[in-house]
Amino acid sequence: MEQAKNSSKTVKTVVGLIIGLGVAFLVKQFLFTPVSFDKAMMQAASQINESCPIMVDQETRLDNAIALPDNILQYNYTLVKMVKDSIDIAAFQNYMQPMIENNVKTNPDLKMYRDNKTTMAYNYRDKNGVFLTKILITSKQYQN
């Protein structure tokens, strides 16, 4: 009889230990696992979008930001005073590319993206919503 009580106690202890370890593992997984970078990018895009659309200068409006697959963060801009036919797109790209690249390399607010080798995409449309160009800044460009 005494042996049956000890055996029952041991089984209860082992079951309790297994359940306790299982609960501890689940708590650790759900409460202490860092947010994935994809989720962090989606949160950052949502935060940016809360203040959009916003004029960044007299001619450029940031419409929104989107976290895309393959570690790409895209900013969508409108040139509010321009139409496609009046823009030399190659000259616009040649003018904007080095400025954007320098900003991605040096802006402390973008460090998280540099650390995670994010491709930054800058999508431009004219005042009528017509696509003008997309400027991509890859990690190879800003980590030189």
Kindly list the domain boundaries of the chain, sorted by start residue.
1-33, 37-142
Task: Give the mean model confidence (pLDDT) for residues 33-51.
Answer: 87
Region of residue 117 (phi > 0: left; psi between -120 and 50: alpha; otherwise: beta): left
Average per-residue pLDDT for the chain: 85
CA distance readout (Å), 40 to 3, 69, 113, 116, 141: 56, 13, 10, 11, 22
Please state which of the ranges 22-31, 66-75, 86-95 shows the lowest mean pLDDT: 22-31
**pTM for the full predicted model:** 0.74
State whether residue 65 is helix, strand or coil: strand
* 29/58 Cα distance (integer angstroms): 48
- pLDDT higher than 70, residue 29: no
Confidence band for 84, pLDDT divided at 50, 70 and 90 = very high
In this structure, CATH architecture of domain 37-142: 2-Layer Sandwich (3.30)
